[in-house]
Amino acid sequence: MGRAILLLALLSGWTAAQQLPPPLSQQISSLHEQVQSLAQGGQLAAAHGATAVMRRYGERMARDFTRFDQELLNRAGDLGMRLPASAVPPGFSTGGSDFDRSFLAWAATRTQQLLNALRTGQRAAGPLAGLAGSLLPLVEVHSQLNLALRQPGAPV
C-alpha cells in the first residue's frame, strides 16, 4: 500500500513536471537566439541577395529583428538576467545563384519556429506574455512577406 502511494506520488510529480513550461530565463534565451539568428540571416541577404527586392527583404529582417532583440535584452535586463551574445551562423551558403531560394526556405522555417515560440510565450502567464503578444503581429508580417516572396512570379 505504501509503495503504491509512493509510486502514485512520483507519477503525479512527473506528470506535473511535464506540464510546466520551461523556466523564464530559458524561454528568453531561446527567443534571443532565434531572433539573433534571423537578424544575422537578414544581414546576409541584404549583402548577397540577387535582386533588389531580396536585398530589401534582408535589410528589413535585419533591422526589425535587431530591434526586436533589443526589446528582449531590455526585458531580460528588467528581470535581472544577462543574455549571452550568441552568434548563430545561418545554415546555408552565401554564394551561388541559389542563394535567394535557399535563404527564403531557411527564413520561412526560422520565422515559423519563432512564431510558435511566441505563441507559447503568449499563452504562458508571466512577464514574457505581454512582450510575446505585442511582437507576435510583427513576426506574422514577416511570415506573410516570406510567403509572398516564395510565390511563383515573385520578383526574387
Partner 1 sequence: MARSAYLRPRRSRQSVGAVLGGGAIAGVIAGAVSLAVGMAWTSGLGLGPELIPRAAAAGLAGPTALLGGWGTLVAGWLLALLGAAVLGLIYAAIGWRVRSFSTALLYGILFAIVAWAVLKRWVLPSLDPVLSAYIPLLGAAWFWLHVLYGVVLSLSAPVRRGLAGAQPAPAQWELPKAG
CB of 132 to partner 1, least distance (A): 11
Q: What is the dihedral of CA 102, 143, 39, 136, to 10 degrees?
A: -160
Is 144 an interacting residue with respect to partner 1 (CB under 8 A)? yes
CB atoms within 10 A of CB 14: 9
The Cα 67–Cα 57 span in angstroms is 15
Number of alpha carbons in the 13 Å side-chain half-sphere of residue 59: 8
CB of 2 to partner 1, least distance (A): 55
Is 73 an interacting residue with respect to partner 1 (CB under 8 A)? no
Is 66 an interacting residue with respect to partner 1 (CB under 8 A)? yes
Q: Considering only residues 36, 45, 64, 75, which one is a binding residue for partner 1 as defined by CB under 8 A?
A: 64
Q: By C-beta, is 88 or 138 nearer to partner 1? A: 138
CB of 63 to partner 1, least distance (A): 5
Phi, psi of 154 (to 5 degrees): -70, 145
